[in-house]
Amino acid sequence: MRAGRLHGMRNGLLLGAVLVALWQLVYWMVGDTALSSPTATLRYTAQLVTREDFALHLQDTMRAFAIAFVLSVVIGLLVGFWLGVDRLSGDVLEPVIVTVYAIPKLTLYPILLLAFGLGLSAKVAFGVLHGVIPIMLFTVSAVRNTRPILLKTGYALKLSRPQLVRWILFPAALPEIFSGLRLGFSLTLIGCLLAEMFASQRGLGYLLMTGMGLHNIALVMSVTLMIVVFAGAASTLLLQVDHRLHRQHS
């Protein structure tokens, strides 16, 4: 276990080093017009994070992301449990949801903009649109795959429906639900950032688009770097929890 974690950390560090080396190499190849070097980007980032307007952008993104993720989790779990427990609704609706999952949701952004206007609600809606479906689908399959013996025990103990969900279905389905949450986390973040890129006047995504528009490469690179580091760190952490939950169960 400990050795495994050390091993994982070494791999992560190695990967990071290789990526930075690659970045430096590409920088040497293409030069200042297209790329800022790792050190220059770090310097710019250090300067950027102390700026007052940056704090506002960051806050905006974080607020939208937090609301969107909470909504995705709540809606995803509710619908997931409903479709998982009620066989008929599940059989009817699950394929429809799977299909919706596969469509390029980016194309829907003009509709969301028209419906929600520029601002927080459009970002949240776009985040939820991306994040809610994996949570739903994983919950449905987790609930359905609960071992029948567990449910029989619940019936034998004469548990009520809410008790059955609280004490049997939820704990049994937790590892798989967590996998859904992990995916939902990343996708909600992407959804919010994309909404900011296309349809917003604040937030990190907006900062990216401004950087592109003004040809401010250092700005684009340092925002990208921050997003990559945050997303990478968060998803690595969630993956570890995920693995541990799955191990405990099996």
Partner 1 sequence: MKRLLAYRLVVIIGAIALLEVLCVVGIIDRITMQPPHLIARDLFRLLASGRMNGAIAKTLTNTVVALALALGVGVTAGALIHRLRALRDTLDPLFAAYYAVPVFAFYPFFIVVFGLGDLPQILIAFMLAVVAMIVNTLNGLDRVPPVLLKTARAMHLSPVDTALRLTLRAAGPYLMTGVKLAVAYAFIGIIGSEFILSRGGIGYEISFAYNSFDNATMYPLIVLILLASIVINSLLTRWEHALLTRRGV
CB-nearer residue toward partner 1: 173 or 217: 217
CB-nearer residue toward partner 1: 151 or 186: 186
Q: Which of 111, 118, 157, 241 binds partner 1 (CB under 8 A)?
A: 111
CB-nearer residue toward partner 1: 37 or 235: 235
Residue 237 is encoded by which pair of tokens?
């952490």
102 binds partner 1 (CB under 8 A): yes
40 binds partner 1 (CB under 8 A): no
14 binds partner 1 (CB under 8 A): yes
Cα distance between residue 32 and residue 228, in whole Å: 21
User: Which residues have C-beta within 8 Å of that of residue 8, sequence separation ≥ 6?
Assistant: 240
CB of residue 168 vs partner 1: minimum separation in angstroms?
27
CB of residue 19 vs partner 1: minimum separation in angstroms?
8
CB of residue 127 vs partner 1: minimum separation in angstroms?
12
Helix-helix angle 120-144:109-116, to 10 degrees = 120
CB of residue 77 vs partner 1: minimum separation in angstroms?
21
CB of residue 34 vs partner 1: minimum separation in angstroms?
4
**Total number of residues that touch partner 1 (CB under 8 A):** 59
CB-nearer residue toward partner 1: 172 or 179: 179
Residue 79 is encoded by which pair of tokens?
């619908």
Site string for partner 1, 190-229 (x = CB under 8 A): x--xx--xx------x--xx-xx--x-x--xx-xx--xx-
- Contacts with partner 1 by CB under 8 A lie at 7-8, 11-12, 14-15, 18, 30, 33-35, 88, 91-93, 95-96, 98-99, 102-104, 106-111, 113-115, 185-187, 189-190, 193-194, 197-198, 205, 208-209, 211-212, 215, 217, 220-221, 223-224, 227-228, 231-232, 234-236, 239
